Structures are given as C-alpha cells and as structure tokens.
Amino acid sequence: MADEENEQGGAKKSGGLNVVGLLITAALAGAAGYGGSLMSMPAPDTGETGANDSLPGESIALDAFVLTMTSTEGEPKAAKVQLTIELNRDTTADSFLVFVPRVRDALLSYLRSQNYENLANNKRQRIMAKEMLDAVHAVGGEAVAAVLVQDLVVQ
C-alpha cells in the first residue's frame, strides 16, 4: 500500500507525534515555570533601612462624587468620580476620619471648577491629582500623601 502512495506522488503520512512540536512546548513550559518561580521569590535583603520608604500608608475610599459641569460650548455634562485618599505612613485612617467632610468639600469644589474637557483629558490626570492634593492640604489635610483617581466617568 505504501508503494501505491509513492507511485501516485503522495507522501506517506505517519500517525506518530511531532517530536519538534513536543520539544518546543516542553521548552516553553519549562521557561515559564522558571520565570514564574523567579517572580515569586522575595527580593534580596540589601540591609538598607530605607527599603520600605516607598510603601503607602493607609487609604480611605471616599464615596463617589456625582456632578454636572459644562463643556466649553456650554452644554451640560455629567461626571462620576471615585477617589481614594492615601495617607502618610505615620497617620492612621481612624485618626483622619474627622477631616473627611472637609476633604470631600475641598475635592468637590475643585471638581466643580473643572470643565468637561479637563476631566475627559487623559493628559491632565496627573496635573489634576496634584491640584486635588494641594486643595486637600489647603484645608488642613497635610496627612494626605496622595489623591488617587479610582474611577472617572464623564458623559
């Protein structure tokens, strides 16, 4: 039967496994396993005391802000903004809760002063976060390290 296939110009098909495909798959699986094990290893201790200086403090998730604003053409627009306050590491969330109404007021005032184009502009997000942090500091929230935008929907 094999002779008949060769006479007709057809190739003989084997029912065996593709060895090269198996080797490539095994090599990729091994490399992924090795890379995953490296990623799960803790960073080596360098002995420096300032290694945790970049760790954030406690966070307080504020209730969502829902507001209306106008576009530069004067059209009314709606926005929903979810912010989280990140505190300095030496401040506890419980001790800062008395400032939350003042902080919400400052942030809402800031957000209402913005137009639709400012909120919708991705390039302005970092600038707005810094300006919101300045507004919080201006009302006594010096313990706030950052204002984080968790969700922003503008229509």
% of the chain beyond a pLDDT of 90: 47
Mean pLDDT throughout 78-88? 95
Q: How far apart are CA 154 and CA 140, in angstroms?
A: 29
16-20, 57-61, 111-115: the lowest-pLDDT one = 16-20
CA 61/CA 83 separation, integer angstroms:
6
Length of the chain: 155
Of 147, 140, 62, 149, the residue nearest 99 (C-alpha): 140
User: What structural domains does the chain harbor?
Assistant: 59-154 (3.30.479)
Please give the share of the chain, as a percent, with pLDDT higher than 70.
66
State the pLDDT at residue 109.
Answer: 95
Question: How does residue 31 score in pLDDT terms, banded at 50, 70 and 90?
Answer: low
